[in-house]
Amino acid sequence: MRSYVSESVVLYRSMAALLSYTVVVLAIAVSMLGFAIAGTVVDVRDIGIAAAASTAGIALALAGGALYRERFLRSTRVFLSYSSENRPVAAYLLQGLSERGYEVFDHATMIPAGVNWREEILSALSSADYVVAVLTPASVQSPAVQLEIDHALARGTRIIPIVYPGTELPARISLLTFIPFGDELEDERLILDKVVESIEFLRR
């Protein structure tokens, strides 16, 4: 399952890249044809119209290409929300998601000394596409985790909860489907697979 999901993501983005640049190349070809036709026209006004149309075509194609690149090629941004007790799981998710091409923000490793940690976290949350929240009985009581969840909800950012046994979810996210974390050692790998599957499903 892991390799299938990873390869499908790569193929999906590669096809989008090919489509994006194909549109641009076709627009340039049409533009060149327009100029060639314009060169056979005696009326200067007709040449101006052909040139303007060709330029507009190129501009539209470039704009469309930029939208495709933003939608399909930009790395999906994932924010990890967790308390310090869950650092080992978060570190595994950070490595696994990064290896699969996601841009992951981890407050424990990415906030340098001497900066306002709250501002850095809120900035990262504001640009995140998804929040992966590792929730335990302790983390749901953490002011930092609560801040991150509240900010994500306020911005409409998708939250993917990973829930440990015995955790009572806050009412504001209690209706979200979640990924259960069991007691088996291999759960970390399975959790990573499920997180990736959830992200790719929500991206459709």
The full set of domain ranges for the chain reads 2-73, 77-203
Tell me 133's DSSP state: E
Return the higher-pLDDT residue of 12 and 178. 178
Query: What gap in Å lies between CA 106 and CA 24, rounded to an integer?
Result: 37
The reported pTM is: 0.66
In this structure, of 51-60, 70-79, 173-182, the range with the lowest mean pLDDT score is 51-60
- Rounded to 5°, the CA angle 68-72-78 comes to 140
pLDDT at 203: 84
Query: What gap in Å lies between CA 123 and CA 127, rounded to an integer?
Result: 7
CATH number of 77-203: 3.40.50.10140
Residue whose tokens read 């799981």: 89
Query: What gap in Å lies between CA 10 and CA 8, rounded to an integer?
Result: 5
Beta-carbon contacts of residue 42 (< 8 Å; ≥ 6 apart):
none
Return the higher-pLDDT residue of 21 and 133. 133
pLDDT at 15: 59
In this structure, of 16-25, 78-87, 128-137, 151-160, the range with the lowest mean pLDDT score is 16-25
pLDDT at 27: 61
